[in-house]
């Protein structure tokens, strides 16, 4: 199964980076607030450039003057299963220590081409 990681990134502003291993890269989104652990909370997730898959294991300090300068810690990680993937929408089942269950990433087109919403899917 493919892997995911959520980095807690204390750069200019504290945020979280969601990364999914996909197609040989780590597809990445910056999430300004902690990812939701229960249904009913929606979070902005801004798509950023793909990262190398090897970066998914990184923890440490990015030196001042470099892109993303600050401390990076793994907040959660594990495997995931892609349940649905179409343009502008993904439903993913996370099997992490904190993020467990089905989550949806859906493009929030009216707020810009890189903006998505991340939320945990309510069980019926």
Count Cα neighbours of 108 within 13 Å in the Cβ-side half-sphere.
16
Q: Which two tokens stand for residue 84?
A: 């649905």
What is the residue extent of each domain of the chain? 3-120
Contact 119, 89 (CB under 8 A): no
Tell me: the pLDDT tens digits for 34-68?
A: 999 999 999 999 999 999 999 999 999 998 988 88
Residue 59's region, left for phi above 0, alpha for psi from -120 to 50, else beta, is beta
Tell me: the pLDDT tens digits for 22-40?
A: 999 999 999 999 999 999 9
């Amino acid at each position: 199964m493919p892997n995911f990681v959520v980095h807690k990134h204390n750069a200019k502003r504290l945020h979280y980076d969601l990364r999914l291993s996909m197609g040989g890269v780590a597809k990445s989104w910056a999430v300004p607030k902690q990812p939701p652990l229960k249904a009913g909370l929606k979070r902005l997730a801004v798509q950023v450039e793909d990262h190398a898959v090897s970066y998914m294991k990184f923890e440490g300090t990015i030196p001042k003057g470099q892109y993303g300068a600050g401390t990076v810690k793994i907040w959660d990680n594990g495997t995931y299963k892609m349940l649905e993937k179409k343009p502008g929408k993904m439903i993913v089942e996370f099997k992490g220590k904190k993020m467990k269950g089905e989550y949806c990433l859906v493009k929030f087109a009216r707020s810009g081409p890189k903006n998505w919403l991340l939320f945990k899917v309510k069980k019926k």
